[in-house]
Structures are given as structure tokens and as C-alpha cells.
Amino acid sequence: MRETRDIMGMPITIEIVEGASAPLSAVFDYFTAVDERFSTYKSKSEIMKINRGELQKKECSDEVKQVFSLAEQTEKDTNGYFSIIRPDSSIDPSGLVKGWAMRNATALVQDMGYKNYFIDAGGDIQSSGNDADGRAWTVGIRNPFNRSEIVKVLRPQGWGVATSGTYIRGQHIYNPHNPEQTIEDIVSITVIGPDIYEADRFATAAFAMGRKGIVFIEQLPNFEAYLIDATGIATMTSGFERFIA
Amino acid sequence: MVLMKKFFLSLFVFVASAGYAVGQYVGASSVSISMSSTRTAGQNAQAPVTMISSGATKSALSPVSPTQSVSTKPQPTTVTKSNPTKTPAQTPTQTPSPIPTPVPAPTPKPQGQYVDGTYTGTPGDAYYGIVQIQAVIQNGKLVSVDFLQYPNDRRTSQYINSQAMPLLKSEAIQAQSANVSGVSGATDTSQAFIQSLGDALAQAKNA
């Protein structure tokens, strides 16, 4: 069964091949709970309370503490290109929360005993097993210049696929080393990683690096990427082709 | 002995042709090397880098000038290897055949085709940073190639440069027609969802 709901400001599609509506609802409920806690739009969220100075970091829930510690780790892993601290020094963990929530949602589905499923949260995709026809799941890479087109078809084989780019929300990613500089040279980078949490956080950081992002991914073991620049030229890492359908 | 002879002969030919290429390049550099109209940094970098920093060049030059400081680390030659939009603007690198094979080469070129001096190349964006080289010509021969600029501004770059340059491939994007389970793209907004829903509802209305 497949269903799409609008949570965390994006469409989330979940398909559990052998599942009925109950397991789907359980996973959607999990995403809703994450949104309540981490939203940067909902005034009652923990993040908003922290940003208003009403809540100390040490008083946060374990989930929020965990995300903060993962964010610190990611900042180190990406030479400072990933940061949840905005230029105005407020905290915005959205760049990490989506992938983290998807990883936890995946664990939830696994724990319920399902092997064949597909989770798509705003274009970041974690799949496992096969689709309802018994075929391997496929993921298209969206054409940044025409959102109704795809420019590549992938078989993720259980790996996570995340894309970071400028084309839907405008310049929503900035370079923490140079916040004033907009990232115009490249328009999107799609990263394949061991799971969606890994793919998502490195996609965000690699995009912030601009052209260097693809080289950064190249030297990371277990990661592949497909970068599209403003002229419509794509550059892929050396092991990317094994994921092309 | 025959082998040695062949080696020195091809060495000579290669140095001569590499020098010729530099001469050509240096001469052309004032015109511009970032000629490509399809502006991709990696491609532009090809002109200054491919010719001079290739490992082959180094091995051929070393005996001539043991003190020269060619670095072979950045080799973006493969970056745009399969790029279909590669422009012919890199002709300076292609003029002679700068491949030092052990095959006996044809007639050596006469020397002195270029003037002694020190020549500085236009900075080129080598994909991961700026590369700028300086070539020294003595007695009509290329005797050294130095990197004036070399990407080292960030730790990432240094780390990358310490590795062999990765084998990145490029291509022009092309629309595919296939049914896929899902599409990966930069975060969709609720707006996109609403539009899609609105569209579906409009269709439903007309159905």
C-alpha cells in the first residue's frame, strides 16, 4: 500500500508492499511527532523554544540532544561545511532532521517485519527490497531545469538517495565559510550513501562546497554522487555508474 | 644499448615537442585560454594543466633538469574525459603528440622555436582550485615548470590533492523516459504538493 501525506512542509510518500494502512499510519505519525519537536515554524517546538531562549540545550529531549550531537559530528565530517547554526546564530537542524527521521522511520518499518518498502520524503529516498511487481525499486534524478523531467534512472539497491539543490526553494543552502556568497555554479547534487541519513547530510554539505562537492564525495568511501551545474553538464563520481538502471 | 638509445631519442623528441607545445601555449596565452563558451571550470583548466602536469611530462623532463619542481599531484585530465561538450579550444595541448612512448619517434624537431625566458600561464580553474604555472625556457628548451598557484586554501583541497585525482566523468544531462518508483530532487515544498493536488482535482472535475 502506498500513501502520500504532507508533513514537515513536504510531501512524504510511504509504500509498504505487504502492508496495510496501519503500519503506514504508524510511520506517518512518527514523522508528525518529529515535526512537532523540531519544526522551525511551529512556535511550540523545542527548537523554537531554544531559539527564543526559553529552553536550555541541556533541558532538551533526548531526541533533540541526539540530533545536536549528530550535527556536531557532521560538522567535523564535512570540514565545517555542514552547520545547523544560521548566520543569525539561530539553530536550524532541518538539514539533518529529515535524514535522521527517515532513518528512524526505516527502522520502524523493519521492526514491524517488512522487507519491501519505499520512503520518499521531499525527494530524499530510502528503499528496500522490491516493488509490488517484484522489480527492484527505481529512482529518477529530477531535471533541475524542468521539474517534470528526469535525467537519470537509478537502482538504489537498498542505499539512500538524497538530492540537494537550489531549484525548488531558491538559495536555501549557504556556505557556512562564506554566508554572503550564494551558490550559483552548481544547481543540484544527488548523493547515494549507505542509508538515507548518510546520503542526506553529505548531499547538503557537498552542495555547500559548490564544485568541490563532487570531489569531496569521490574521496569518501561508500558514497557516490551526480552533480549538475548551471550549464546542464553533469559530473559523476567514479563508482556512480553501478547504480544506473 | 639499443633500448637506451631509443629512450634518449624519444626523450629528446618529447622534450622538444613539449617545449614546442609550451611555446605555442605561451604565445597563445595572451589571447586567452579560458576560451570555452560552454564555461565549465574543469574544462577551462585543461589547457594549462593537462600538458604540463601530466606524469609523462615529468618523467621526460626530470633528466633534463633534476631540480625542476613539477608537481604531478593534480591531474584533472580525466575530469572531463568523456565530456561531449569538450571544445576544440584546447588545441595548444594537442599540437604535437606529447606522449612519450618507447616507439622510435619520427625526425626530431629543430630547437630554438621559442625564446628564452620565464613565462607565466593564465590562472586556470582546475575544478578544485586555481592552478597557475610558470615555465622557464633556456637555450630554446623547456627546463622547468613550476606551480605558482596551487589549491591549498582549505583542508579539503589539501586532502584531495594528496590523493590521486579522482576519476570523475562528465556528460550533458538528457531527459529520460522511464517509469520510476520515485524522483529524487531538491526538497519539494508543500506548494508543489498543493499544485499537484490542484491539478489532480482539476482533472477529476473534468472527468
CA distance A108 to B72: 50
A172 contacts B156? CB cut-off 8 A: no
pLDDT of A206 above 70: yes
CA distance A195 to A182: 29
Q: What is the DSSP string of B84-137?
A: TT--GGGHHHHSS-----SSPPSSPPPS--S-SEEEEPPPEE-SSSEEEEEEEE
Higher pLDDT pick, A120 / B195 = A120
pLDDT of B192 above 70: no
Angle between helices A94-111 and A21-38 (to 10 degrees): 150
Which residues of chain A are within 8 Å of residue B168 when distances are taken between CB atoms? 214-215, 218, 235-238
Higher pLDDT pick, B14 / A38 = A38
Most B-contacting residue of A217, A235, A236, A244 (CB-CB within 10 A), to test interface: A235
* B174 → chain A, closest CA residue: A151
Mean pLDDT of A219-239: 91
User: For residue A83, what are the CA distances in angstroms to A50, A120, A191, A225?
Assistant: 16, 24, 18, 21
Higher pLDDT pick, B79 / B101 = B101
CA distance B198 to A131: 28
Residues 6+ apart with CB under 8 A from B99: B14, B56
pLDDT of B168 above 70: yes
pTM, two decimals, is 0.60
* C-beta separation of A161 from A121 below 8 A: no
A137 contacts B183? CB cut-off 8 A: no
Residues 6+ apart with CB under 8 A from A29: none
Residue A94 — very low, low, confident or very high, per pLDDT cuts 50/70/90?
confident
Provide the 10 A C-beta neighbour count for residue A28: 18
User: Nearest CA of chain B to the CA of A58: how many Å?
Assistant: 31
User: Nearest CA of chain A to the CA of B88: how many Å?
Assistant: 17
Q: How far apart are the first and last CA of chain A?
A: 24
User: Nearest CA of chain B to the CA of A142: how many Å?
Assistant: 5
Give percent of chain B with pLDDT exceeding 70. Answer: 16
Ranking A51-60, A74-83, A134-143, B155-164 by mean pLDDT, the lowest is B155-164
Tell me which residue has cell 490542484. B198
B41 contacts A141? CB cut-off 8 A: no
pLDDT on residue B74: 39
pLDDT on residue B101: 46
Give percent of chain A with pLDDT exceeding 90. Answer: 69
**Residue range B128-161, pLDDT digits in tens:** 445 566 677 777 776 665 656 544 433 344 344 4
Q: Return the bridge partners of A12, or none.
A: A5, A121
pLDDT on residue B148: 60
pLDDT on residue A190: 97
A143 contacts B193? CB cut-off 8 A: no
pLDDT on residue B124: 59
**Residue range B81-102, pLDDT digits in tens:** 333 333 344 434 444 444 444 5
Tell me which range, A96-100, A181-185, B142-146, B193-197, is most confidently predicted by mean pLDDT: A96-100
B181 contacts A153? CB cut-off 8 A: no
pLDDT of A2 above 80: yes
Which residues of chain B are within 8 Å of residue A243 when distances are taken between CB atoms? none
Higher pLDDT pick, B124 / B75 = B124
pLDDT of B111 above 70: no
Tell me the one-letter amino acid at B75.
Answer: Q
Residue B10 — very low, low, confident or very high, per pLDDT cuts 50/70/90?
low
pLDDT on residue A86: 80
Which residues of chain B are within 8 Å of residue A186 when distances are taken between CB atoms? none
**Residue range A143-200, pLDDT digits in tens:** 988 888 999 999 999 999 999 987 543 444 566 676 665 555 788 999 999 999 999 9
Q: What is the mean pLDDT of chain B?
A: 50
Return the C-alpha torsion angle B63, B65, B66, B71, nearest 10.
-100
**Residue range B50-70, pLDDT digits in tens:** 232 333 333 333 333 333 333
Q: Return the bridge partners of A141, or none.
A: A152, B184
Q: What is the mean pLDDT of chain A?
A: 90
